[in-house]
Amino acid sequence: MQVYADNAATTQISRVALEAMMPCFETYYGNPSSLHSIGQEAKELLEDARQRVAACLGCEAREIYFTSGGSEADNQAILSAARYGARRGKKHIISTAFEHHAVLHTLQKLEKEGFEVTLLDVRQGHNITAQQVHDAIREDTCLVTCMYANNEIGSILPIAQIGEVCKDAGVPFHTDAVQAAGHLHIDVKAQNIDLLSLSAHKFHGPKGVGALYARRGFPLVNVIDGGAQERGKRAGTENLPAIRGMAAALEDACANMEENMGRVRAMRDKLIAGLSRIPHCDLNGDRENRLPGNVSFCFEGIEGESLLLLLDMKGVCASSGSACTSGSLDPSHVLLAIGRVHDVAHGSLRLSISEYNTDEEMDHILTVVPQVVQQLRNMSPVWRDLQTGKREFIL
């Protein structure tokens, strides 16, 4: 058995999305900017896709800009709000300590340009409150950017309340909704969201395509300069197949959200209950307000990397927060932000499931993970020190 439990990294494309894409390769291959009939047919399909994406978010079609994915949408949203703020003498931005790097690295770039960034503490309940946002807002705040839901630990932020705080203070509000779109109900108007990013490959759409919602009249700056596509705000010939695939996938996800997420939530709760029985482990992320497909644990006395390799050998494709990228052994900034110490953060495991998973697969995970954790602990010098009392348990 092979179980794919890494849906927060990317998802398998759906049949619906694939079928929406194929005609764009074979028949509607025109450039939407061309004036002839083949171009204009493509243009119609493009605008139809825009309308569909907008309907899923509760906004107007002209408020949707297609991008190359979530990262580009995050960059454009934040840079736009920053430039607009700077013109009015406002150079303070509020965000959280557990944002995706697409947000954090953009903020770091702005800091080098003289912006001041406040990152809200996420240790309490592995989440933030709207009150924290309220208390951090200053006269010179030009943007609040808080993710809708965290990709590593699954916490869902109080978006509607944050939106209200921002509206009352007259501060633009951006949310990176890459993990939420297609999984949670979004209504940008009711939630007072000014800017929102999403990415198709996180909801069974194709990779390399996403969207930025920007409230009508919001002054966007270009990240990609060139032609006049996307109302002059994002140059480059539109990736019509991907855009059609994204619209179909989002529509499908939203139409079946309640049923799919109900099933996914039940599988998630079964995993959390089963894995909690492993000694000296702890759940990461908000216990109540949690993405339907997210399971994230820290296990004391093991290394996340070895856990992943052994799990893969036993047919479970998962992820760890402690990716030792380019030789550095830094654990995930998200796990450190919620207050995990380095040793504990290194023993992390994220299982992210979707409606494509089955109950049998959950049973397989529940058999294999405790075995592999025990196997690794038996070989671990750290675990031996914990057992003999030379080192104290944290979890």
Ligand X SMILES: *Cc1c(COP(=O)(O)O)cnc(C)c1O
Restricting to residues 246-305, name those near ligand X by CB under 6 A: none
Catalytic-residue membership of 324: yes
Pick one of 20, 77, 153, 178: the residue that binds ligand X (CB under 6 A).
178
Pick one of 75, 96, 179, 319: the residue that binds ligand X (CB under 6 A).
179
CA atoms lying within 13 Å on the CB side of residue 165: 22
Which of 70/331 has CB closer to ligand X? 70
Rounded least distance, CB 114 to ligand X, Å = 25
Rounded least distance, CB 30 to ligand X, Å = 26
Rounded least distance, CB 343 to ligand X, Å = 26
Binding mask 85-104 for ligand X (x = CB under 6 A): ---------------x-x--
Restricting to residues 204-223, name those near ligand X by CB under 6 A: 210
The C-alpha atoms of residue 138 and residue 120 are separated, in whole angstroms, by 14
> Of the listed pieces 69-77, 113-121, 219-227, 318-326, which binds ligand X according to CB under 6 A?
69-77
> Of the listed pieces 12-20, 33-41, 159-167, 172-180, which binds ligand X according to CB under 6 A?
172-180
Number of neighbours of residue 120 by Cβ within 10 angstroms: 21
Which of 28/98 has CB closer to ligand X? 98
Pick one of 53, 59, 66, 69: the residue that binds ligand X (CB under 6 A).
69
321 binds ligand X (CB under 6 A): no
319 binds ligand X (CB under 6 A): no
Cβ 336 vs Cβ 104: under 8 Å: no
Pick one of 6, 63, 176, 194: the residue that binds ligand X (CB under 6 A).
176
195 binds ligand X (CB under 6 A): no
The catalytic site residues sit at 324
- Residues at the site binding ligand X, with contacts judged by CB under 6 A: 69-71, 74, 100, 102, 147, 151, 176, 178-179, 199, 202, 210
